[in-house]
Amino acid sequence: MKLDRESLISWLEERNPERIEHLYAEAYRTKVSAVGDKVYLRGLVEISNICRKNCLYCGIRRDNSATVRYEISSDDVLRSADFAYHAGYASMVIQGGERTDRKFIDKITGLLKEIKRRWPLGITLSLGEQPIEVYREWFEAGAHRYLLRIESSTEELYRKIHPEDDVHSYETRVQALKDLRAAGYQVGTGVMIGLPFQTAAHLADDLLFFKAMDIDMCGMGPYLEHSETPLYVWRHLIPDQRERLEMSVRMVALLRLLMPDINIAATTAMQAIDPYGRERAILAGANVLMPNLTLSEVREEYQIYQNKPGIGEDAAISSSKTEQRLSEMKIPIGWGQWGDSKHYSKR
């Protein structure tokens, strides 16, 4: 299948249901032959919603005073790690707002060492931009995958969805991906889909950016508006939710064809639009899913977008619902396996 820029744009604009089904089936076959048919689970802990940044789309941005700030104690993170391990997940993700204070950095380092001492879990971090020394410190302490979305690979669009200052620089974001590679991580990035001002050409360029950066993992999902954020004023410019989900599944399928052996996540934002949104992405090429293990008491405060699924649920409920949906769709789970990026191991 031709996958140059023009072909990617026309696949993103395709409206013929039969051709789209054919694309998804082809992406699924490519996944099975390159990385197998299993989906790998990573238990997600949203460790803190304290953030030094002010991204114009995000509900936990620094200036949203309606958000009550929290930080989960190390003991509670260890309890979640124990849950993940005993649930057979083999991996966990620690995600949170961007913090560069030494106290927080030390807390993560200590947690990584303790988790690795107690359980053979694979650990992914998603804690924003950090100096390369911090990436190295965390890698040495036991993390081996890092997710940092570029959000949009088109600098002009990136600037429209972030404040114009040094803390939100496109150049720094790209450099961070290079630093993560140099520090030894399996590097994951991704974009939001259905942003105001975003076109099919921007999305095609995002796919080509992933390829050019030779990434190991990707997490993409629909942009979902939040009324307490500056980007909300442009909500009349975005496609409806169904279209945003459809475009997200299309992006997953095209990326699978472009980069057959990377790990691609089916994301929570897809589930926010359709309870089976993540499963649809899996059938179009995704192979990683991150059930939320965050304590129910604080979930409401990690609303990067509104109507996030699973608010009020605890880890046991979110996990069993996820497992039930996967089994209904006859999607096999890679129990007890890290499911690392094959692309990374081949490099």
If one asks whether residue 220 binds ligand SF4 (CB under 6 A), the answer comes out as no
277 binding partner (options ligand SF4, ligand SAM, none; Cβ < 5 to 8 Å by kind): none
207 binding partner (options ligand SF4, ligand SAM, none; Cβ < 5 to 8 Å by kind): none
If one asks whether residue 151 binds ligand SAM (CB under 6 A), the answer comes out as yes
Q: Where are the beta strands (DSSP E) in the chain?
A: 40-41, 43-48, 91-96, 122-126, 145-147, 186-189, 192-193, 217-222, 263-266, 288-289
> Quick one: which of 8, 58, 77, 331 contacts ligand SAM (CB under 6 A)?
58
Contacts to ligand SF4 from residues 290-309, by CB under 6 A: 304
Contacts to ligand SAM from residues 245-304, by CB under 6 A: 269, 304
Contacts to ligand SF4 from residues 21-80, by CB under 6 A: 51, 53, 55, 58, 60-61
**In angstroms, what is the minimal distance from the CB of 226 to ligand SAM?**
5
Alpha carbon of 174 to those of 68, 189, 258: distances in Å?
31, 10, 21
Contacts to ligand SAM from residues 101-130, by CB under 6 A: 126, 128
If one asks whether residue 308 binds ligand SAM (CB under 6 A), the answer comes out as no
Measured CA to CA, the distance from residue 70 to residue 204 in angstroms comes to 37
209 binding partner (options ligand SF4, ligand SAM, none; Cβ < 5 to 8 Å by kind): none
Give 219's strand partners: 265
If one asks whether residue 176 binds ligand SAM (CB under 6 A), the answer comes out as no
Characterize the bridge pairing of strands 186-189 and 122-126: unpaired
- The set of residues, in sequence order, having a beta carbon less than 8 Å from that of 133 and lying 6+ positions away, is none
If one asks whether residue 98 binds ligand SAM (CB under 6 A), the answer comes out as yes
- CA 307-313-318 angle, 5° bins: 95
Measured CA to CA, the distance from residue 160 to residue 55 in angstroms comes to 10
